[in-house]
Amino acid sequence: MVHPDFTLDLHGASLDAAHARLDHGLTQALAHGARVVLLITGRARLSDDHAGRSNRRGAIRAKFLDWLMAGPHASRIAAVRPAHPRHGGAGAVYIVLRRAR
């Protein structure tokens, strides 16, 4: 099992707040020399067709990969892997960061 060096909890935040928290948190994780970040996004709801994408449960989960790929830390991300059930399972992922050169 992976042991995270840093934890970022976005669960329950608005999309704007979660996006800002993700960027700031990755900056902190990199400054601390973290290699594995546990990102808690919350679980996606399987069917919620009546709510708008930005307001429904699971919206952060649906957006975080886009944020990572387009964000200022994209070149420092080596992998994104599913989290172990002990660390949140389907409601979380591990972000593996590249070592500084």
Strand partners, 96: 36, 79
Among 47, 2, 55, 5, CA closest to 25: 5
**The domain that contains 49 carries what CATH number?**
3.30.1370.110
Angle, CA of 47, 54 and 87, to the nearest 5°: 70
Determine which helix (DSSP H) or strand (DSSP E) holds 28, and give its type and residue range.
helix 15-31
- 3-class DSSP state of 67: helix
Prediction pTM value:
0.86
Q: Identify whether the C-beta of residue 41 lies closer than 8 Å to the C-beta of residue 11.
A: yes
Domain span holding position 85: 6-90
Please check whether residue 25 lies inside any domain of the structure.
yes
Please check whether residue 43 lies inside any domain of the structure.
yes
pLDDT at position 54 is 46
Low-confidence stretches of the chain (pLDDT beneath 50): 48, 50-55
